[in-house]
């Protein structure tokens, strides 16, 4: 359990886990999705996730494919999913409110955008 929480404490690793949640990606794919970080860093994060049992690794030629071990995560996995979904629908709600406001005023929003 300790390893699981330690692994999920880092935002970068949560992002990686989410990235491989419903598709298998190679280490390079994951690097490409995180261009602001070095390949070495990604590789290190993957090792932490793997040791925590959060992702599975499959070797194929010179590629290493990673995928979330959703089955073994059980309730924790489902909690993650609902949390991610909630965050998404919050964004959706904001966007819709924005849309409605723009329509009402018949002008676009001014001032600071609501979402950074």
CA distance between the termini of the chain: 34
Query: CA-CA distance, 57 to 65, in Å (whole number)?
Result: 6
- Region near a second copy per CB under 8 A, out of 3-11, 27-35, 47-55, 62-70: 3-11
CB of 25 to a second copy, least distance (A): 22
- Region near DNA per CB under 7 A, out of 61-69, 72-80, 92-100, 101-109: 61-69
From the list a second copy, DNA, none, which binds 69 (C-beta under 5 to 8 Å, kind-based)? none
From the list a second copy, DNA, none, which binds 102 (C-beta under 5 to 8 Å, kind-based)? none
Count residues binding a second copy (CB under 8 A): 16
Determine if 8 is a binding residue for a second copy (CB under 8 A).
yes
Return residues touching a second copy (CB under 8 A): 1-2, 5-6, 8-9, 11, 14, 74-76, 78-79, 82-83, 87
């Amino acid at each position: 359990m300790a390893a699981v929480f330690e692994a999920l404490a880092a935002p970068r690793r949560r992002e990686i886990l989410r990235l491989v949640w419903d598709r298998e990606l190679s280490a390079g794919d994951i690097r490409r999705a995180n261009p602001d970080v070095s390949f070495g860093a990604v590789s290190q994060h993957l090792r932490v996730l793997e040791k925590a049992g959060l992702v599975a690794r499959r070797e194929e030629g010179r590629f290493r494919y990673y995928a979330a071990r959703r089955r073994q995560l059980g309730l924790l996995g489902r909690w993650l999913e609902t949390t991610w979904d909630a965050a998404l629908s919050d964004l959706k709600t904001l966007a819709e409110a924005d849309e409605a406001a723009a329509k009402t005023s018949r002008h676009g929003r001014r001032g600071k955008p609501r979402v950074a």
